[in-house]
Structure 1
Amino acid sequence: MALSLDSYLIRPDPHDPRLTVKVDGIDQNGRAITSAVTVERPLTLYLNAQEIVTMMTIGDHPDLLALGYLLNQNMLQADDQVTGVDYDEDLAVVVVRTAHHTDYEGKLKKRTQTSGCAQGTAFGDMMEALDKIVLPPAELRTSWLYGLTHTINQTPSLYLEAGAIHGCVLAKSANPLVYMEDVGRHNAVDKIAGWMFRNAVDPADKIFYTTGRLTSEMVLKTIRMGIPVLVSRSGFTAWGVELARKAGLTLIGRARGTRFVALAGAERLIFDLDPAKIPEETSRQRRKGSSDDD
């Protein structure tokens, strides 16, 4: 299967010097080594004058992360007028300004959201939005699924450079468009949500791919973004499946090589390519996303 990275609008830059540091150590044989280690740093988010949260992040795309966080927490609505997003690198602060004060500025007290995958999500606000969202009809061709996962697995990434990272991809058919990484998968999702908001992207024909588990958080955020298909190399949680079925989201997990499992929204699948015609993944591809994310 031919590899083309031409469809990407944004993709990882694993050699960005801001995102990793070199650390000396020893390996299993006692030999001296130098290893690339992923950087994480705090970023404090304000909505107008209200401090909302301090997040741990790799630090790229702070403006998109801030917008996406507020959108996915139901603290910012799609029709809110954002008048500015100001980032101060020295203070590690990003301020999202709106034309009018929102209903959510005083709702949350300050809390620290760490890079741990189970931390800091306001499920209540997200659940409030769930019943109001109707996902669009769409299709998922198996040829798209095979082509998409192949391209993502071959794309140079910070994960392959240093590990300790999660990745999320917004795609259309077999073409990946935006690939974001971060120390927490929630951050990677939020960056894509922020990019979609800023560029007024229609979610109806999009596919969302994650290297991580298909948890309730991942499902809720995908639904919140209005995307009808969610795909992962990893597995499911029961609540994630339940929410996907309730919302009519197509949920595809364990998508590796020619294998996948659909536990919700299987009616969108169109089997248009014989899996026997798809080459098996290499051992390097199988390792990608399987250790830090499962």
Structure 2
Amino acid sequence: MTAPAFPILPDPEDARLTRRIRGIDHSGNEAEISVVEERPLTIFLNSQEIVTAMTIGDHPDYLALGFLRNQGMLRRDDEITAVDYDEDIDTVVVRTRRQTLYEEKVKKKTRTSGCAVGTVFGDMMEGLEGLTLPPAELRTSWLYALARQINTTPSLYLTAGAIHGTVLCQADKPLIYMEDVGRHNAVDKIAGFMFRHTIPPGDKILYTTGRLTSEMVIKTALMGIPVLASRSGFTAWGVEIAREVGLTLIGRLRGQRFVCLAGEERLVRDADPAAVGEEPAKARRKGARDD
């Protein structure tokens, strides 16, 4: 299947993703604001129920495929025979040619630090042993260009807040932009898109608005992407795992500043930070949270 060209998703104008709600502001005056929708999505793999995730509800097919792929329940060579979504019961069923059974894996569940409660099954480190990420190049000029483009792109966050964004990039170009109430969901949507459209990961960069946690590092490494960057900060275990697997980890990327805590050998410093300048106030407000 051929991937569509540069979809920047989701659509901030999609009425299904937000709701106008009235309340009272700090001055006691009536206020009406846009609030992000949140709904359950139950994911099946063939006949087995795997998980119910809380999500904004867009792209359930990519979310289901990416979640299953990142959990090791879908293999790289699995043939997907169907992805069926029933909006009435908020359920998506991924069907494969191969028979699957993951009862024991599903019994071992870990609740992660992701907002909207991220969940991983089995050993969190499963699949990382012997993993080798490609020796890709990362130019600092790309980082600065990506930050400028992503932070000024119309998004659901700018409309309603309470949302995380994840962007798949190549060099200095954003390719796929996904948002969700949990950063893990946004990453899984990217993973599902890549799996469905056979997008190679070796020359890609993953950008996220959320913290660089162990879960985010593990997902990125399992996707085969060699660089993970964020506006936000790090967790110690996330940094430790990134160093173990050879992932380049860039955090606190704002304006002319960033910090690299792993994989610095990929960095090519081809831009003068002084020439980049500080972020505009609007972009600073967008990245003010460290979540």
Length-normalised TM-score, structure 1: 0.93
Which residue does 1:84 correspond to in 2? 82
Q: Which amino acid aligns with 2:92?
A: V
Structure 1 portions without partners, runs of 5+: 1-6
Instruction: Out of 185-194 and 101-110, give the one that drifted further.
Output: 101-110
Which residue does 2:70 correspond to in 1? 72
Runs of 4+ off more than 6 Å:
110-115
Instruction: Give the superposition deviation at 1:123.
Output: 5.9
Which of 49, 53, 67 does residue 51 from structure 2 map onto? Answer: 53
Instruction: Give the superposition deviation at 1:12.
Output: 3.0
1:151 and 2:149 matched: yes
Alpha-carbon separation, structure 1, partners of 2:190 and 2:274: 33
Which residue does 2:12 correspond to in 1? 14
Identity score, percent: 67
Provide the secondary structure at the position in 2 that maps to 1:76: coil
Kindly report the root-mean-square deviation, in angstroms, between the aligned alpha carbons of the 2 structures.
Answer: 2.0
Alignment of 1:15-54 (within 5 A): 15-54=13-52
**Cα distance 1:123–1:259, how it changes in 2: closer, same or farther (>3 A)?**
farther
- Please tell me whether the aligned partners of residues 10 and 178 of structure 1 are also in contact (alpha carbons under 8 angstroms): yes
Alpha-carbon separation, structure 2, partners of 1:253 and 1:71: 26
- Please tell me whether the aligned partners of residues 56 and 115 of structure 1 are also in contact (alpha carbons under 8 angstroms): no
Instruction: Give the superposition deviation at 1:111.
Output: 7.8
Instruction: Give the superposition deviation at 1:271.
Output: 0.5
Alpha-carbon separation, structure 2, partners of 1:57 and 1:46: 16
Instruction: Give the superposition deviation at 1:211.
Output: 0.2
Instruction: Out of 95-104 and 46-55, give the one that drifted further.
Output: 95-104
Query: How many residue pairs align between the two structures?
Result: 287
Alignment of 1:1-294 (within 5 A): 8-104=6-102, 107-109=105-107, 117=115, 119-122=117-120, 124-291=122-289, 293-294=290-291
Provide the secondary structure at the position in 2 that maps to 1:226: coil
Structure 2 portions without partners, runs of 5+: none
- Measured against aligned partners, the alpha-carbon deviations of 1:35-94 in whole angstroms (never above 9, x if no partner) come to 000000010000000001111100000000000000111111111111110000011000
Alpha-carbon separation, structure 1, partners of 2:41 and 2:10: 20
